[in-house]
Structure 1
């Protein structure tokens, strides 16, 4: 049976490597000391676009891109990569261990990273193939293309999604706990907001909406 290959997503690394480890699948190699536990269970910090706190789920392939770029700076263990991504994204992206560690395992199988056991933690560093992949990514990346930790729901679009999530949450609270009068007021506000959004969509890109329509 022939192998099936999918093209890498634009702006993200492919996980294919030198071929080392091809055709076999390794078991998970998570290290308990590498990630947090709470009440005997792993704490998952990767949130959906509608999660509280405005955090956003990374687009597919971003975790591999981000990990390779960080490892190009210095070797790190898995939990260090998680916290570094959280810091660089201003707290908006903290990949869960269930996302980070399998990605690192796949990168190891594809010959992109080497692993060394240090003080009970598995430290990852780039192989020559991994550094080549980083160089290829940087050559193909446009100057205005953000880093993967900056392209994770940040900026104006990310702020809009966060505002939408907050609006939905507030409307649900009123629907569940508000008085009939409050529910009617909320419906009126939402109807007015919908009208203003339609006015924004109807306006030309360089033409502001009519005064009072989108203010």
Structure 2
């Protein structure tokens, strides 16, 4: 993989090292993809989007703050153990707020017509461009992985299809941009 200067800096960051240590050899439940591969693919997308180093560092750190249990377990200890810059922490916490406000449980089958999939409300990236970039990296990478490993086989396949579609619409990522970002990941993977 060709590693750009921006990705190399992100890999040297304490945030990247923390998630690398936390994830170790763990894999995603549904797909079997190594969790660190998800982070690496997200960094590739962020690099293509020309995201700042703070955004890349926040993207690496976000899994340690995503759910409430991890926030309690890792949050304070990590913040005191590592000198996190305020902009990185702001991005992580705003990402957490935006992502958790519209999880896949907002998309479900209609009670009136079980063949129809409906959504409650719509996702929002909020006002910060860096958080929008982090959400793009997360949702593009997640959708790519879902299509490759679970589409048509997952019990909630139709719901997840709509979930990713609505996030990408909210993030203003059209089919052409999505395909280009996925191609960037695939190209980087072939160069490893």
For this structure pair, what is the TM-score category when the shorter chain's length is used for normalisation? under 0.3
Q: Which has the higher contact order (CA 8 A, sep 6+)?
A: 2
TM-score w.r.t. length of structure 1: 0.23
More strand by share: 1
- Taking structure 2 as the reference length, the TM-score comes to 0.25
